[in-house]
Structure formats: structure tokens, C-alpha cells
Amino acid sequence: MSQTSASPRDAAAPAFVMPAEGDPHDRTWMAWPGGGYTLGDSPADAEEARATWAAVANAVAGFEPVVVLVPHDELRHARRLLSAEIETVPAELDDAWMRDIGPTFVHDGEGGIAAVDWVFTGWGRQSWASWEKDARIGRRVAELAGVPVIASDLANEGGGIHVDGRGTVLATRTVQLDPGRNTGITEAEVEAEFARTIGATTTVWLPRGLTRDSERFGTRGHVDIVATLHTPGRMLLHAQPAEEHPDAAAMREIRAALDDARDASGEAFEITELPAPRTLTDAEGPVDWSYVNHSLVNGGVVACAFDDPNDEQAVEVLRAAYPGREVVTVDARPLFDRGGGIHCITQHQPSPRSLGS
């Protein structure tokens, strides 16, 4: 399908607005693991990755349509493991984190859908990453969705932002201001680009992300394992009560910044803590497991589980935060072993809206 470029029209009224993730969706987009560290070093590792990505896709498909981009040599595996109603599309991929490599969908001034195509550089030109193919996925998904593209020169990823749909965006200074992503950029310049592309009038800056996510194989601090705006003015925040875990200190720093922050309406946030799993370490060191990294779908929440005593408590917190939604869980340990979670491998496409809504 043909594709056009979109441009903003009136700075006083944002031409594009990213709706809240909990607003109605047309579908969810995913990418299938196809090689490297994602599939791992053995046939057992590869099958574990495939089964986990499929479990998430199948869970999402219980609520809304799912489209999965799949490397050609993985199509037989994807079709073997995915539900029959899930659409698969052959694609060239470096990696499988669709939240980051895919576009960010927004509403335009008429309530239609457009797609922001951020610059993708392997989470800040990480030495272990490759991104030549993934850098083209934003436009590829927009083409498949049949929506216009809003081109951006900002190196950014979908996991690096969370919005309330009313002008507030959460971001992290170690991500958008990362010299490996955007050399010499200022906060004001990032905020101006957020205003142009996603309609954000207020950027709330977190000082950092979680510890493991800030190390060599992390994203340098994505917000989507730290905090989410589940309702305008209300936030779910990762909490690490174990003082021996380095994220206890990290979260105190983040919480202090949020206690002083205000949203686009000028109001303080009502913060509900979402306790981390009790498991503190794995073979690589302190974990960054987080229940914040869940994906909202039509009528539901697809949440991370870790075979941990706190899984049940997390489900109860999520049910309270999202009344009327069914909460389903998927074991996310194989995802976090590879660098992300459920939110990281999904990208929602909102439904069009009428101008009166």
C-alpha cells in the first residue's frame, strides 16, 4: 500500500497526539526472534525463545488481532506455535523487540492514525547490537498498517516513553539525552520533538532506569520497566524493598524526582507501588524483573510472571489499577534473560477516534 509523509499544521493545537495505551486498539504488532542472542546458543535456547514469544502473541490474540513480522527461515516455527488467527508477515529483522524497532502510533487532527518513525540505532549504538534491518521496520509496519509516516530525527524507542494521552510523557535522561543516541541534544529539543510528534506538552524526566538495564546489555534506562501512567494522574511505579538490591537506591532517586513532578494538568501524581519479585539475582547478577512491563490490550492486561511469590500480589495490583480488565500472565523470565519483557515485544496500534470523543 502506498505511503505518504505527514506534517504538523498548528503548534497551538497538536497535529498528532499519542493516545493512552489503554484506549481501544485495532491490533498489536510483534516481531519474531530470528537469530543471535535472542534465539541463543542451542536448539533448546531457540525453542525456549520461540515458545515465549508465541505465548505472548497467543495471549494477546485472545483479546485483539495480532500481526507478527517473521524472518523467512523462522516462518515454519512461527506457524507451528502461533494461533491460527494470528497473521504472519515475512520480514528481514535484526532483533525482535517490536516496541523499540516499530513505530509509535498516534492520532492525527481528524482522529485518524499516523505512525512516528523514530531513528533506531541499536539502543545507542551498542557494540553488541545490529540494527540495519530493524531501522527500516518503523516504515515497514506503517506501510502494512496503511497509515502515513511522521519522520523524526530523534533516536528513540517505544520503550523509552509512556504517555497518559492528555499531554504527559514519561522519559529518562539516560535514554533520549544519551550521547550514543542523540549527540549534543538538549532537554528542550527533545521536548519540542515530543510535542511535534506525540503531542506531549509536559515531559516528566526520570533521572535513570533500573540497574541491570543500565549496564552493557541494557537499554540505558527504558521507562517501561520503571513506571507507567495507567490512568491520567495515576502511576504504577516499580518498587524494590530489598536494600541489598541496587535498585532500592535507584528507585529512591526516581521516586524523589516523581514526588516533585507534575503532569500536563499541573497535578501531582498519585503513585501506587508495584513491588518487584522477591527473586533478587540470577546467574548474571541483580535482576531487573518488573511487573510494570505489562501490555494493555482490549479488555485485558498481559502481564509478566516470574514463578515468584509476588506474582499473585502483582496481579491483584494490576486488577485494581485496571478495573474491568482481565489479567493474564506469561512467564517472562526467558524474555528478561534476553533483555526485555512483554511490553518490549509488543507495539499497540490504536483505533481511529471520532473528533467528538
**pLDDT at residue 156, rounded to an integer:** 98
- The range of the structural domain enclosing residue 131 comes to 25-350
Q: For the CA atoms of the chain, what is the radius of gyration?
A: 19
Task: Tell me whether residue 10 is in a domain.
Answer: no
Q: What is the grid cell recorded at 141? A: 509496519
Task: Tell me whether residue 8 is in a domain.
Answer: no
Lowest mean pLDDT among 128-132, 174-178, 307-311: 128-132
Identify the bridge partners of residue 25 per DSSP, sorted by sequence position. 350
| Confidence band, pLDDT 50/70/90 cuts, at residue 7 | very low
On average, the pLDDT of the chain sits at 95
Task: Tell me whether residue 2 is in a domain.
Answer: no
Among all residues, which ones are annotated catalytic?
344
SS3 9: coil
| Confidence band, pLDDT 50/70/90 cuts, at residue 355 | low
**pLDDT at residue 36, rounded to an integer:** 86
Give CA torsion, residues 153, 158, 160, 163, to 10 deg: 110
Please write the tens of the pLDDT for every residue from 217-271: 999 999 999 999 999 999 999 999 999 999 999 999 999 999 999 999 999 999 9
Task: Tell me whether residue 326 is in a domain.
Answer: yes
List the Cα angle 334/211/42 in 5-degree steps. 25
Does position 206 have pLDDT exceeding 70, yes or no?
A: yes
Contacts of 337 (CB under 8 A, 6+ apart): 282
SS3 121: coil
**pLDDT at residue 14, rounded to an integer:** 77
Task: Tell me whether residue 98 is in a domain.
Answer: yes
Q: For 38-51, give the DSSP string.
A: HH-SSHHHHHHHHH
Percent of the chain with pLDDT over 70: 96
| Confidence band, pLDDT 50/70/90 cuts, at residue 12 | low
List the Cα angle 160/164/167 in 5-degree steps. 95
Task: Tell me whether residue 20 is in a domain.
Answer: no
**pLDDT at residue 1, rounded to an integer:** 25
Domain CATH for 308:
3.75.10.10
Identify the bridge partners of residue 115 per DSSP, sorted by sequence position. 105, 149
**The total number of residues written for the chain in this structure:** 357
Residue 333's Cβ-count burial label (10 Å; 0-12, 13-18, 19+) is: buried
Provide the domain count of the chain. 1
Percent of the chain with pLDDT over 90: 93
Task: Tell me whether residue 317 is in a domain.
Answer: yes
Q: What is the grid cell recorded at 298? A: 482490549
Please write the tens of the pLDDT for every residue from 36-51: 889 999 999 999 999 9
**pLDDT at residue 144, rounded to an integer:** 98
Please write the tens of the pLDDT for every residue from 294-303: 999 999 999 9
Mean pLDDT of 1-6: 35
Closest C-alpha among 240, 295, 254, 99 to residue 172: 254
Mean pLDDT of 48-73: 98
Q: What is the pTM of this model?
A: 0.94
Task: Tell me whether residue 13 is in a domain.
Answer: no
